[in-house]
Structure 1
Amino acid sequence: MGRSRSSSANMWKYMNPSYYLKRPQRLALLFIAFVFATFFFWDRQTLVRDHQEEISKLHEEVMRLQDLLEELKNGRSIAGEKPNFSRSGDDVGKKMNFLDDPVDAQRREKVKDAMRHAWSSYEKYAWGHDELQGYSILADSASEQLEFIALSQRTGDPKYQQKVEKVILELSRNFPDDGLLPIHINPAGEEVEFVYSTITFGAMGDSFYEYLLKAWIQGNRTAAVGRYRKMWETSMQGLLSLVRRTSPSSFAYIGEKLGDLLNHKMDELACFAPGMLALGSSGYGPDKSQKFLSLAEELAWTCYNFYQSTPTKLAGENYSFGKSQDMTVGTSWNILRPETVESLFYLWRLTGNKTYQEWGWNIFQAFEKNSRIKSGYVGLKDVNTGVQDNMMQSFFLAETLKYLYLLYSPYSIIPLDEWVFNTEAHPIKIVTRNDRAMSSGAGRSSVGQQKLYRRPQSRREGRW
């Protein structure tokens, strides 16, 4: 009993303030313990509160996505009605505003400024330079128009459009009669100099011609973008001069030109051309339209046979054509390129011919058989042997699989009368341009005069 009372008395002494006042060290230790405990519980409460806020944001984002999915399922996009992010009385717009916090806005501005800074650092006319040769590459200099025009439309800031349209304006000053430009150009002088180099619809030339057409489509075919269409039609006359047909099978192909010499070689990269021709054929009168559409179908048949002519049923990087042979694979690797299935997608959409779906399915099955591995997909070092490499190119996801998916999707999924695909298969909204037609003086005020599209609140060599 004496021990129990003694133990109880010892416990109570720690509760007596005098125990601590007599010895300051004890008081300091008590204070430190109190501060530590307070900080610990405050930190736990803050973490719980932040966690709850994050859960709430995630829940709202999930609900927003569910709403958008329901709109798509209900066919609103099919009917041309776009999902409305800012309807009064609807929580969707409010959620978008809530999610678009100031930090995101600041970061977007930083990224846009970085884009402008990188573009402006190109010499004189926003020309990219080939580090190895000192000249600008055609496809580099003239394949940013869609993106920068769209950026100006969405921000209301004309500087982005002015930069890229100045490039087209400079190229148009000395545009050749056949509309065919070499892959290297020198912008360093008073006027653009076309450097003696290859003329091709393949590597380093391809997307220049593609963007002439697509900038016209992006502006909804108005007079303001008429220069793009005029230049494109001139270039297509030049393309016709490069078209040859093989013997005995009469495969149509687009050759390459160096000076007056025609090289009977065609890159798989140039297989974007059938889709481009089909897409642009509607801007001609009936006779010319049918002529270019027929050529597109012929070229697509050739590109499909790039695949069908190898043991793996996958295309090599390029092909050569001789007098007594149809086609021979040159560079024999396959790096999962999208250009052929891209053209099959356009031809199916524009003609309704299901043959193009069948060709696409055969190509897809060849990818599945030869390129699919446990961790993804890989290219082939040689389409004749099927030896694999160890790399999946980013454009396989961004373009190849996307076009294959769209090849089997309804027309209403990214309709071509509302969207135009850039050279990396990203859809960009078609916005009617009624600004002054591009001319030497138009660059200063063109964007400011057009009705801007406001967003809701809240391709080249190697492709390595």
Structure 2
Amino acid sequence: MVTRVTNFRIAKPVSVFETTIRVLGGLLSAHMYATELLGPRHQDQLLSLAIDLADRLVPAFNTATGIPFNTISLSSGVPQHETPVTCLACLGSLTLEFGTVSRLMGNPLYHHLAKRAVVAAWKLRTTIGLMGCHINAQSGQWTEHAASISGTSDSYYEYVCKAAVMFDDPEYAYLCQVTYETVENQLRYKDWYASASIWNGIIYRSSFESLQAFWPGLQVLLGDLKPAIRSVRQYIQLLDRFAFLPEAVNMDRLTALVGREGYPLRPELVESLMALFQATQDRRLLNVATEQIRRLLAYCWTSCGFANVKDVRHLILEDQMDSFFLAETLKYLYLLFTPGHPLHHD
């Protein structure tokens, strides 16, 4: 049915990043599962859709630096007056999906384009090794001079390291190591990670954002368990204060920032709990996850599904549930309590 009704000739601009990680990634995953389950009966219709979509995204990479534009029309290409400014996470979170298209097709183009963008941004790092949160894809100039592992930067670091493992690529492995060491040396603030100037490393903001909770999982992947454990302990301290991780917290006072008190059912903490439990078998992590499940059922379940938390201090809900709750949060919770699942070894 998906192949019968899906048409990517859409005349509106879409996010290259979001379309890649959600739609392209979803099609590729579904294709590989269908191939595994159905064998010769599966006729590659989902892969054909994925290739069609990837080809429609390719023109976004036509910039002076090789860093892709932020949005593109799937029917007509990059809009005429599209801004050249894009975020670090947006340009760096295409490697797994585009690399998988290349692997399945035997065509290196897609992998090359995504990797070229990652390397281009890294080559534009400052003398102290930091990359900003936003960059001009045409000029190569950083338009935001703050470095962080929060939203707009986070998945650049995640994808570089996961690509190193997935594609057994020594260049990705090198980038993973040097970018990880730079973050640890420049952005660590006590047992948290701050936002700092890309030019001199001076701390801009000492606030924790919930999107940073992916970092301990990445540290587990790299075998750096001690700082991962310390970070997760900090998150648990927040969960003792709030029912869920707020979007942003003052690191020193452990108070939710004004306007950032919500919890949109994010998966990052659960993914890190899953990875850390796999590495340590510390059953206290299961207790934390069990309590999160209890709170989700007690506070977020409604007659029509789960709802985002608008304010974790008062457990006020809003009429919204993002797709990543189903695609990631629930998946990681399931895998956390299913340690022998084959997905842990894929």
TM superposition score category, shorter chain reference: 0.7 to 0.9
What pairs up with 1:29-44 in 2 under 5 angstroms? Answer: none
Partner of 1:188: 138
Q: Select 1:321's aligned residue among 245, 251, 264.
A: 251
1:198 maps to which residue? 146
Q: 1:279, 1:350 within 8 Å by CA — same for their partners in 2?
A: no
Alignment of 1:51-450 (within 5 A): 93-96=39-42, 100=43, 107=49, 109-117=51-59, 119-120=60-61, 125-129=66-70, 134-176=84-126, 178-189=128-139, 192-220=140-168, 225-240=169-184, 241-245=186-190, 252-258=191-197, 260-281=202-223, 292-310=224-242, 313-322=243-252, 325=253, 327-330=254-257, 331-416=260-345, 419=346
Q: 1:412 to 1:177 in 2, by over 3 A?
A: farther
Do 1:320 and 1:328's aligned partners in 2 also have CA atoms closer than 8 Å?
Answer: yes
Q: TM-score, normalised by structure 2?
A: 0.79
Map of 1:5 onto structure 2: none
- 1:78 alignment partner in structure 2: none
Q: After the TM superposition, which segments of 4 or more aligned residues of structure 1 sit over 6 Å from their partners?
A: 82-86, 130-133
Q: What is the alpha-carbon distance in structure 2 between the residues aligned to residue 382 and residue 180 of structure 1? A: 33
What secondary structure, in the 3-state scheme, does the structure 2 residue paired with 1:396 have?
helix
What amino acid maps onto 1:376 in structure 2? G
Secondary structure of residue in 2 paired with 1:334: coil
Number of equivalenced pairs? 300
Contact map agreement 2:277 2:283 (CA 8 A) in 1: yes
2:178 and 2:46 map into 1 onto residues whose CA distance is 44
Task: Tell me the equivalent position of 2:26.
Answer: none
1:131-182 deviation line (CA, Å, top 9, x unaligned): 9975121000010011101100001111111111111232343444554311
1:155–1:230 distance in 2 versus 1, CA, 3 Å: same
Deviations 1:263-288 (A, max 9, x none): 1111000000011011112xxxxxxx
Secondary structure (helix, strand or coil) at the match of 1:236 reads helix
Measure, in 2, the Cα distance between the counterparts of 1:298 and 1:354: 16
Q: Aligned-pair distance for 1:341?
A: 0.6
**Structure 1 pair 83–168 and aligned structure 2 pair: CA distance change class (3 A):** closer
Q: Which protein, 1 or 2, shows the higher relative CO under an 8 Å CA cutoff with sep ≥ 6? A: 1
Amino acid paired to 1:305: Q
Deviations 1:187-245 (A, max 9, x none): 313xx32334221111100001111111111123xxxx222222222222222232223
Q: 1:385 to 1:85 in 2, by over 3 A?
A: closer
Q: Percent identity?
A: 22
Moved more, 177-186 or 386-395: 177-186
Cα offset, 1:375, TM superposition = 0.9
Distance across 2 between alignment mates of 1:132 and 1:328? 38
Q: Structure 1 residues 303, 180: CA separation in 2 closer, same or farther (over 3 Å shift)?
A: farther
What's the RMSD between the two structures over aligned residues? Answer: 2.7
Instruction: Please tell me the residue identity of whatever aligns with 2:245.
Output: A
Q: 1:386 to 1:186 in 2, by over 3 A?
A: same
Distance in 1 separating the partners of 2:50 and 2:205? 46
1:270-313 Cα distance to aligned partner (Å, 9 max, x none): 000011011112xxxxxxxxxx3100011111122322212xx1
Distance in 2 between residues matched to 1:333 and 1:264, nearest whole Å: 19
Maintained 8 Å contact 2:69/2:83:
no
Cα distance between partner residues in 1 of 2:38 and 2:321:
37
**1:262 Cα deviation after fit:** 3.6
User: How far off its partner does 1:93 sit?
Assistant: 4.1
* Gap runs ≥5 in structure 2: 1-31, 72-80
